[in-house]
Amino acid sequence: MIKFDLEVDASGLQCPLPLLRLKKAIMEIDSGAVVKVIATDPAAHLDFGVYIDQAGHIPLKIIKDVDKQVFFIQKK
């Protein structure tokens, strides 16, 4: 498992709330730190992908289960 500095549980939230929670978490951590986000919105990976790419953060791992997705993102 990947070591992380902050966990955000966005379970049960629909777009754009998981993305807003991710953005808030990224602002709270230092450069190089890792945030873990749990989301049940099936489209979260699309929103996260665009944001991560535009902001330059590093997607370390994405785990897709039937009912949730878990993202590990390192702040640039």
* Banded model confidence at residue 1, pLDDT cuts 50, 70, 90: confident
pLDDT digits (tens, 9 = 90+) for 4-47: 999 999 999 999 999 999 999 999 999 999 999 999 999 999 99
Full-model pTM: 0.95
Active-site residue set: 15
Kindly provide the b/e burial profile for residues 28-56, where b requires at least 16 CB atoms within 10 angstroms of the residue's own CB.
ebeeeebbbbbbbbeebbebbeeebeeee
Torsion over CA of 13, 16, 24 and 69, rounded to 10 degrees? 50
Note the CATH number of domain 6-74.
3.30.110.40
pLDDT, position 70? 98
Does residue 59 have a pLDDT over 90?
Answer: yes
Domain residue ranges of the chain, discontinuous segments joined by +: 6-74
> CA-CA distance, 28 to 16, in Å (whole number)?
19
